[in-house]
């Protein structure tokens, strides 16, 4: 009789959702990483989420909506074993030992890499949608990304600026990096290649000032240096040539994962291009 009961439940679920895509119950899951947090929060139903990564509540993460309802994981294996989710969504950069242990204990792990091209980003969203059980939402996210991409391209239009993506301590993402490919995708030219950086490297202040790109792309506006790495970006020599109207600001949290936040990053870029282009 039990199987009949199961079938009835399944039919009921189908009837409620009204979607043929949901052949089974979507898996109950936990997310182990800030990047997978972003994916899970966008793609999964709130009832599916049994836990988020321990960094999910950091101020600089700021997700859409209220996330205080979700439990925060420790980052280790213990609490995940206790929760016993159907699926553990982790990043390939998380602690290997923890992932191995969870696998050995029979948990299903989805290990997502950090995408390095736009195609990989789309692919990852699609994959995550399938795993989480909401391919329809993944399709919406991909469409959102493509629309944002088109808007950014229109904003660049014929102004093929030469820009330098610049992070704390003078780190420059190379022309072959994700940021570099994103910039060239929308028609901007990365000046990183002129410094000889293909994959990225640290540039000295002198070299940057000497290079004179049209704009620098940074992750933070404002005049507060919490540490030396940020003080680099506020050095008077750099501020002289790159005052706020020469700085394109894209918040770090939108770019570091390259997943569902990418559309937001592109929209931020579009808005910044309109601001500095006047």
Footprint on this chain of other proteins (rule: CB under 8 A): 58, 168-170, 202, 204-207, 209-210, 212, 224-232, 234-237, 240-241
CB of 253 to other proteins, least distance (A): 13
Closer to other proteins at the Cβ: 151 or 169?
Answer: 169
CB of 223 to other proteins, least distance (A): 8
Cα gap 218→224, rounded to integer Å? 14
Closer to other proteins at the Cβ: 81 or 211?
Answer: 211
CB of 207 to other proteins, least distance (A): 5
CB of 277 to other proteins, least distance (A): 24
CB of 206 to other proteins, least distance (A): 4
Closer to other proteins at the Cβ: 37 or 141?
Answer: 37
Strand 171-173 and strand 200-202: pairing?
antiparallel
Cα gap 23→11, rounded to integer Å? 9
Closer to other proteins at the Cβ: 158 or 223?
Answer: 223
Cα gap 195→175, rounded to integer Å? 10
CB of 147 to other proteins, least distance (A): 32
End-to-end CA distance of the chain: 71
Closer to other proteins at the Cβ: 98 or 181?
Answer: 98
Closer to other proteins at the Cβ: 25 or 210?
Answer: 210
């Amino acid at each position: 009789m039990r199987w009949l009961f199961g079938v009835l439940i399944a039919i009921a679920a189908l009837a409620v959702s009204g979607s043929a895509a949901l052949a089974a119950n979507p898996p109950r899951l936990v997310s182990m990483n800030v990047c997978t947090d972003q994916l899970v929060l966008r793609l999964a139903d709130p009832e599916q989420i049994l836990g988020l990564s321990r960094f999910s509540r950091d101020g600089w993460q700021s997700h859409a909506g209220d996330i205080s309802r979700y439990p925060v994981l420790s980052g280790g294996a213990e609490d995940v074993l206790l929760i016993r989710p159907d699926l553990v969504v982790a990043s390939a950069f998380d602690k290997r030992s923890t992932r191995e242990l969870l696998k050995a204990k029979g948990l299903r792990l989805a290990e997502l890499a950090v995408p390095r091209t736009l195609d990989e980003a789309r692919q990852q969203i699609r994959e995550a949608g399938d795993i989480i059980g909401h391919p329809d939402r993944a399709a919406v996210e991909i469409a959102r990304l493509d629309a944002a991409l088109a808007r950014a391209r229109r904003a660049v239009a014929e102004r093929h600026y030469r820009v330098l993506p610049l992070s704390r301590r003078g780190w420059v993402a190379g022309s072959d990096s994700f940021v570099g490919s994103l910039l060239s995708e929308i028609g901007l030219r990365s000046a990183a290649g002129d410094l000889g950086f293909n994959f990225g490297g640290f540039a000295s202040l002198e070299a940057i000032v000497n290079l004179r790109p049209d704009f620098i792309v940074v992750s933070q506006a404002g005049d507060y240096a919490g540490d030396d790495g940020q003080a680099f970006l506020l050095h008077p020599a750099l501020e002289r040539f790159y005052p706020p109207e020469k700085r394109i600001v894209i918040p770090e949290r939108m770019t570091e994962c390259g997943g569902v936040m990418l559309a937001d990053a592109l929209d931020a870029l579009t808005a910044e291009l309109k601001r500095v282009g006047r």
